[in-house]
Amino acid sequence: MLLSENLLIKPFILTDADDLLQFQLTNKEFFERFSMMRPDSFYSLEHQRSLISKWKYNIENDTEYQFGIFQRDTSKLIGIISLFQVIRGSLQSCFIGYFIDKDHNGKGFATEAVNLIVNYAFEKLKLHRIEAGVMPHNIGSIRVLEKTGFHKEGIALKNVKINGKWEDHQVLAIINPND
């Protein structure tokens, strides 16, 4: 569990499945602009439970860390943040991704969450590098990453398929300052 002034970040547990499903349904159209296509079955309670079980397994195996972003004062789920494609050995790296509820977007919660998770990745997981890919027109997300210490590295051409189209992504990264 990670705490900041406004947020509680913790791994999902099965009892979060209802809230996770509601979060996904409420933000479906908003997130579709920036995420991969999801089948209709994604938006079911059964699927959300299976994701939570998979995420628990992945945390135990140090391959992926999915967390819920909850408001401290209300315990409401307002986002998801993840460290994924964790690579060990000589690289010690991962990718970061996050989604903030449309009604909580632009209020500093993403910056607060990214700061918490970067510190966790460097201090607890002992990772050396965290990379992010952001669609170049997603200026808000690029600002979040830059405010938290990420630097631009270049453009990955036609890198991720979003809504059936291969999209370019701005590559940003941060290096563990203790390495």
**What element of type H or E holds 46?**
helix 45-60
pLDDT at 169: 94
pLDDT at 163: 78
Q: To 5 degrees, how large is the angle CA 116–CA 118–CA 123?
A: 95
In the chain, what are the domains? 2-131 (3.40.630.30)
pLDDT at 21: 96
pLDDT at 7: 97
Stretches in the chain below the pLDDT threshold 50: none
State if pTM tops 0.85.
Answer: yes
End-to-end CA distance of the chain: give it in Å, rounded: 24
pLDDT at 161: 84
